Amino acid sequence: MSESYEDGVCGDGAPDFIPPRAIRSGRRSGVIVPLVERDEAALLESVKTAPRRSSIIKDPSVAKVSGGRKKTVSFSSMPSEKKVSSAADCLAFMQGGCELKKVRPNSRIYSRFYTLDCEVGCLRWEPSKKDGDRARLDISAIREVRTGKSTETFLHNGPSDHLAEEAAFSIFHGDEYQSLDLVALSADVANIWVTGLRYLLSHPGAIGGGSGGDGGVGEGSIGSKMRWNWLAAEFALVDEDGHGIVSEDTAVATICKLCPGIKEAKVRLRFKEIQRSKEKLTSHVTLEEFQEAYCELCTRPDVYFLLVQLSKDRECLDAQDLRLFLETEQGLSLATTEGCLELLRRFEPSAAGRERVLLGLDGFTRYLQSAECQLLDPEHQNVCQDMKMPLSHYFISASYRSYLLDDQVHGRADLGGLIRALQVGCRCLELGVTDGPEGEPLLGVDHGTDGKHHHHHHHHHHHHGSVTLRSALEVVNKYAFLTSQYPLLLYLCQRCSPSQQRTLAQHLKKVFGPKLHTPESLPVSLGGRATILPSPEQLKGKVLLVGKKLPPEEEGSEGEVSEEDEEIGGGGPLAGRRMTIPGEEELGVVLVVPPPPQPRRLRLRRELSDLITVARTGSRSFYAYRTSAQPSQQHSPPSTPSTPGTPMTLDPPYWTLCSLGEGEAGRLASESPEELVNFTKRCLTRVRPSSVRLDSSNPNPQGYWKGGVQLVALNQQTPGAMLDLTRGRFMQNGGCGYVLRPAVMREEVSYFSAQSQGCVPGVPPQTLRVKVISAHSLPKPQGSGAKGEVIDPYVVLELHGVPADCTEQRTRTAAQNQDDPLFDETFEFQVNMPELALLRFVVLDDDYIGDDFIGQYTIAFECLQPGYRNVPLLGLAGDPLPHASLFVHIAITNRRGGGKAQRRGLSVRRGVRRGREYVTLRNTGIKVLDDAFRPANGPLREATDLREYALSATVTFKEQCGLPPMATLKQCIQSLATRLQNPDGPPSATLTLKEGYPCLEPLGNLTDATRKLLNGYDTMISANKQLIENADGVHDRIAQVQKEGMVFHEDMPRLVEKENLKGRKQSKAVESFAWNITVLKGQCDLLRSAKIDALDTLRQLALACEASGLILTSDGHYTPHGTSTRRGSGHSNGRS
């Protein structure tokens, strides 16, 4: 049973994070350009035959100017539309003209109709107070065209804040670089103008007499010729007779083969339109018609505009272009020219392109859609985390009664559910065992016959065709280690009679044999206490049983154990309270926690007890820990760390698993998260769904992960948002079912407050910027009504994590029956706890009948790859939707690593304009401790100064280049290079190496503005040099203070007693100690990452200078200063 979107929040009480259904926005009219050869009658006919939203043909915001018809362009999939697939299309559109908003420095915004006059070589606009000859801008006077709101006019103009960033662009002209600041009606139109103008700047011959629409302009580029020749070769392969024509079926099949994912009906419809427009009586297709249909249907405008931007308007990439793209945008600092050559040969479809080692539009599209550009970091396709830590240090994928079909009351047992759970990587399975006929235990749930222990009264019953436990164990044994080699926990809920318990024990030993990890094989004696749990690596290939265990003092062949009720807490401090299950408030489900009942006594056979490796306990073990940890207080203060060896700690029993009900666990995670985190550092903890979820729905696991709970058992058979989150979490680390918890949940001394904004002290939040560019091959919603192929998709971005991080944003609705819509919308998120954050993309239909769900993809923040990425969409049950995907751009600032080097896209940096904020250490009230921490104050300030100086110098340089902080360094150098160009000789500055650092040496006379730019470049290099050369020394001084502080950790009881600290002061001292240790470690990590970023900055600058023609060295290539620890991708990705 799938989960639907309902109101919910992400905060106290760990409710389900299910965003409300977004408010329906108005149907956003796309921008269409009718085919030039159509007359008014043909246009009217096309309106009649268009789908029911035929108003998309018009743009009501544009009036006719000077009697001319407003021409616009759309990138939707309507067969009657003209797609932009070349520079010629851009110039044709510009000659037709369109409305643009002109932004003036005086905060006034004017609407003007702009056209390109190719005959004269100028831009014209009207209406204007100037005469016709003055209301123009010569193309020859244009120096540069920039995207975005980057000029002084945009940055300091209040009204422009309401104009879309993606639709803004600026034209710099004249020797003084005056700017003409414009905003189009959409990002689509802005891209056309930017591409067309840049093409004219790099191809002056296209001006003066060229129409742009017929010939020459698009086909003249290298990439365009490669494409047309490739299509001709493919056409020749299916033209068996060599007559230059093929059947429509053959042409359709060929295009579908060359462009996987395109709908056959769309291709066939386009050929029908071509036949009608030419009044053909035959359905045969010529080469020209085949090329025309392919280019219109299979060109992705978003990829085309990106290609033009990267290729200097040649419409193809060489190895150096691709390497620069991988380095500056994709975060692959180890890319090599040799590796890029291999990529070009692998993805370029045309023989000419492969021979010349060039990547054209179709090859670049294939590359961006390939596994090389997937959103998931390929390192996580395999186990990549440290698997030698104690079991309690990992989140573990767990299933809950996945063998039940239908619901939790009358559900039939089915072995298929167990198989599916193991195949998706679950490492903890719950098996219910009841007495069966003929002494053979059955797989199923005994709900009990004593209703007073439950808020629901269930009757114990068996169905015909019951599944024996023996057959279930054999299935588990067969599939246990096919997906993951790491240990499998079998959570036994057995209510069998002693005789059938003996049979159960025999089955377990016989089926699993040596795989069964029994207590006798443990490295410590049963009566002793071990310091840590074994690691997943130590327990590879082993099955561990979790269940009730006889107490050590029991010596008989069987004895009694108490069956603690784990549903609501079994008589903890919540007893007698009215409470709702998190996420179920709107359903009115209210439970009354029963007072502590007399624990049920169950008979347990010694044979079964001896096989149990991990003893199952209820919430009493947590409350016992809390009581012992705070002898002088009823409640623990926030953030009290666990400090073994002090009177404030009592470790729970070693081989135990504390099982909590959903309701109580949610309250503990919200009200006592720090205590719960400290408890889980040594003890495994499990949360199971509430029994009020009779429909087998699932709780939000994120609410329990933030409290450190390792096992959140979900109904794996129930698709929906909650299961998506779980699968997104465990998709990392090779899908092995074990994911390392954040360091603050593992370290013995740490400060972590999940409920606060800065949950880890001394570490600033990271900024995630996601640009949703487009979607492709979207299917209809699986549950929608039968209404043709019409969809109006939009994308919801959900960020799940600690409460401070939970939020959602959505794109506009892409109307007009678009299964390949363009969005071009950017969203920004603050991420306080990246190790716990999950990003979920959900594609929905705004014009649905029934279910509006199209597809989704959920990924852990730590697995995000920067740059332009492909997001494969999954269906309701988690199965891939064929060819359906999103195309996005990812950039992350302040990215830090938890023990491993992290890559990041350098497209985003935040400016630092306010006063510098220095992190401070807390006073513990213990003199010897405060004296030990005091030497860190100086290096902590130095670390902040080094990082902030490098950051602010980089942002300042970008602003001097007229670019926003999110611009790439490559864009900055390109902007600088245009000012350094000298038509009569070499550029006015060249790249030289000084002490291994890339410096720009001025040559000849420079204008004051250009000299100021070079000074800004020098300042940036100096700041990064200072960081690189001083980071290690400052890092070591901070780390030494941390090391010396940890020496006092074991001595805390004596120090506390010596200072006579009691009650709150005692807790405050321990809390401040943990705070200081966490700050010192966090600052060390930040400084190490900052040095890596500085090394990458130097590499980016050198590569950009080389690509822009500013390099003049003996070998022509930059040798990196120092060695960066950043990795390339696990795929080749341009690495040799």
Task: Output the six-digit token pair for 702.
Answer: 């994120």
Span 111-129, average pLDDT: 86
Residue 1121 has pLDDT above 50, yes or no: yes
Q: How far apart are CA 704 and CA 892, in angstroms?
A: 26
Q: How far apart are CA 304 and CA 365, in angstroms?
A: 8
- Give the pLDDT of residue 248: 93
pLDDT digits over 926-943, tens only? Answer: 888 999 999 999 999 999
Residue 680 has pLDDT above 60, yes or no: yes
pLDDT digits over 797-817, tens only? Answer: 999 999 889 999 999 998 766
- Give the pLDDT of residue 960: 84
Residue 490 has pLDDT above 50, yes or no: yes
DSSP letters, 354-380, are HHHT-B-HHHHHHHHHSGGGBSB-GGG
The alpha helices in 809-856, defined as continuous H runs, are none
Rounded to 10 degrees, what is the CA torsion of 910, 911, 917, 918? 70
- Give the pLDDT of residue 773: 95
Say if domain 40-85+87-206 classifies as CATH 2.30.29.30: yes
Strand partners, 100: 112
Residue with the larger pLDDT of the pair 151 and 1018: 1018
The amino acid that residue 79 corresponds to is: P
Give the residue extent of every domain in the chain.
Answer: 40-85+87-206, 222-356, 391-745, 766-893, 927-1107
For residue 983, what pLDDT band results from cuts at 50, 70 and 90?
low
At 224 the three-state DSSP class reads helix
pLDDT digits over 651-671, tens only? Answer: 444 478 999 988 888 888 888
Q: How far apart are CA 276 and CA 692, in angstroms?
A: 62
- Give the pLDDT of residue 240: 86
What's 766-893's CATH class? mainly beta
Closest CA to 738 of 483, 974, 1013: 483
Span 603-629, average pLDDT: 80
- Residues of the chain with pLDDT > 70: what percent? 75
Contact 483, 424 (CB under 8 A): yes
Backbone phi and psi for residue 456, each to the nearest 5 degrees, phi listed first: -120, 145
Strand partners, 422: none
DSSP-derived pairing of the beta strands 142-147 and 168-173: antiparallel
Q: Cα angle vertex 420, ends 414, 421, to 5°?
A: 100
The amino acid that residue 1020 corresponds to is: M
- Give the pLDDT of residue 409: 58
pLDDT digits over 862-912, tens only? Answer: 999 999 999 999 999 899 999 999 999 999 987 543 333 333 333 333 334
For residue 61, what pLDDT band results from cuts at 50, 70 and 90?
very low
- Give the pLDDT of residue 758: 63
Task: Output the six-digit token pair for 600.
Answer: 């049920």
Residues whose CB is less than 8 angstroms from the CB of residue 1000 and which lie 6 or more positions away in sequence, other chains included: 989, 990, 991, 992, 1014, 1017, 1018, 1105, 1110
What angle separates helix 222-238 from helix 248-258, to the nearest 10 degrees? 130
For residue 466, what pLDDT band results from cuts at 50, 70 and 90?
confident
Contact 390, 255 (CB under 8 A): no
DSSP letters, 943-987, are HHHHHHHHHHHHHHHHHHTT--TTS-HHHHHHHHHHHH--TTSS-
The per-residue pLDDT of the chain, averaged, comes to 78
For residue 984, what pLDDT band results from cuts at 50, 70 and 90?
low
Least confident window among 333-337, 935-939, 980-984: 980-984
Q: How far apart are CA 1031 and CA 12, in angstroms?
A: 40
For residue 216, what pLDDT band results from cuts at 50, 70 and 90?
very low
Number of H helices, E strands in the chain: 28, 34
Largest CA distance in the chain: 108
For residue 735, what pLDDT band results from cuts at 50, 70 and 90?
very high
- Give the pLDDT of residue 521: 57
Distance of CA 744 to the CA centre of its chain: 22
Distance of CA 792 to the CA centre of its chain: 24
Contact 991, 1113 (CB under 8 A): yes
Strand partners, 658: 617, 685
- Give the pLDDT of residue 919: 85
Span 723-735, average pLDDT: 95
Superfamily of domain 391-745: Phosphatidylinositol (PI) phosphodiesterase (3.20.20.190)
Which segment, 70-74, 580-584, 962-966, is predicted with the most confidence on average? 962-966
- Give the pLDDT of residue 904: 37
Residue 588 has pLDDT above 60, yes or no: no
Q: How far apart are CA 417 and CA 404, in angstroms?
A: 7
C-alpha dist (Å) from residue 404 to 370, 432, 545: 38, 10, 20
Residue 303 has pLDDT above 90, yes or no: yes
Span 995-1013, average pLDDT: 84
Residue 1109 has pLDDT above 90, yes or no: no
- Give the pLDDT of residue 992: 86
- Give the pLDDT of residue 450: 39
Span 462-466, average pLDDT: 55
Least confident window among 17-31, 695-709, 958-972: 17-31
Residue with the larger pLDDT of the pair 46 and 368: 368
Distance of CA 670 to the CA centre of its chain: 26
Q: How far apart are CA 226 and CA 357, in angstroms?
A: 12
For residue 961, what pLDDT band results from cuts at 50, 70 and 90?
confident
pLDDT digits over 388-447, tens only? Answer: 999 999 999 999 988 887 665 566 778 888 999 999 999 999 999 999 998 899 988 765
Backbone phi and psi for residue 1113, each to the nearest 5 degrees, phi listed first: -125, 175
Contact 566, 688 (CB under 8 A): yes
Neighbours of 1132 (CB within 10 A): 16
> What letters, b where the CB count within 10 A reaches 16 and e where it falls short, cover 804-825?
bbbbbbbbebbbbbbbbbbbbb
Residue 307 has pLDDT above 70, yes or no: yes
